[in-house]
Amino acid sequence: MPVTRGFSRRRPDSAGRLPPGQYDTGAGWPVLTAEATPRIEREAWSIGVDGLVDRPTTWTWDEVQQLPTSSYSGDIHCVTTWTKLDTVFTGVSLDTLLAAAGPQAEAAFVMAHSSTGYTTNLPLADVTDGKAWVVWEFDGKPLTAEHGGPVRLLVPHLYFWKSAKWISRLELIAQDRPGFWESNGYHDRGDPWLEQRYQGDA
């Protein structure tokens, strides 16, 4: 079957990797922040896992560095239609944090909290089994403040609003409740391949 290659700004490797309605943003990385960018020293940062867990646990920057590191190599997708291909983030898997805290049987959702007050909700199943990280490096360099440094959440298989910048707390809950953007019209789950952009989308 003949294939006609039309004019395209897309890099060849974007074929098949762009979810519907997304474009390849190339080398750029847009910044999307609802609040003022906080300047948080690594030494002042910590993350807590609490709510419906057997062992509520808080890790400081030094303590999180002692955990086994884990990297993500792949793409990220923003609901504003940019996709960034071939990103590399390094941090720790949420599986590691959750295993330490011990989710209770009733825990079914996670509310991710930023130290700024930003929140986003996720089914527990979307942040377990190697699907989510807290990360402090992008392309081998410390994550910059504008992109959520020192440490942000990374849930790359969902639209990027789920990846809370300046992450400080993961609260395990039984009943789903909307976070910041989910209360402002965004879809509850946000799967880019299903184009779950806004409430009412599939």
Ligand X SMILES: Nc1nc2c(c(=O)[nH]1)N[C@H]1C(S)=C(S)[C@@H](COP(=O)(O)O)O[C@H]1N2
Residue 31: contacted member of ligand X, Mo ion, none (CB under 5 to 8 Å, by partner type): ligand X
94 Cβ neighbours under 8 A, 6+ residues apart:
127, 128, 131, 132, 133, 134, 170
161 scored as a contact of Mo ion (CB under 5 A): yes
Residue 58 C-beta: closest distance to Mo ion, Å? 28
105 Cβ neighbours under 8 A, 6+ residues apart:
none
114 scored as a contact of ligand X (CB under 6 A): yes
- Candidates 4-12, 33-41, 47-55, 129-137 — which segment interacts with ligand X by CB under 6 A? 33-41
72 scored as a contact of ligand X (CB under 6 A): no
Residue 176 C-beta: closest distance to ligand X, Å? 19
Q: Which residue is nearest to Mo ion (CB)?
A: 78
Residue 27 C-beta: closest distance to Mo ion, Å? 19
45 scored as a contact of Mo ion (CB under 5 A): no
- Candidates 4-12, 40-48, 100-108, 160-168 — which segment interacts with ligand X by CB under 6 A? 160-168
Among residues 102, 114, 96, the alpha carbon closest in space to that of 50 is found at: 102
- Candidates 23-31, 51-59, 64-72, 95-103 — which segment interacts with ligand X by CB under 6 A? 23-31
Count of residues making up the chain: 202
Cα of first residue to Cα of last residue in the chain, in angstroms, is 33
158 scored as a contact of ligand X (CB under 6 A): no
Closer CB to ligand X, residue 70 or residue 87?
Answer: 87
118 scored as a contact of Mo ion (CB under 5 A): no
Residues near ligand X, by CB under 6 A? 29-35, 78, 114, 116, 118, 147-148, 160-161, 163-166
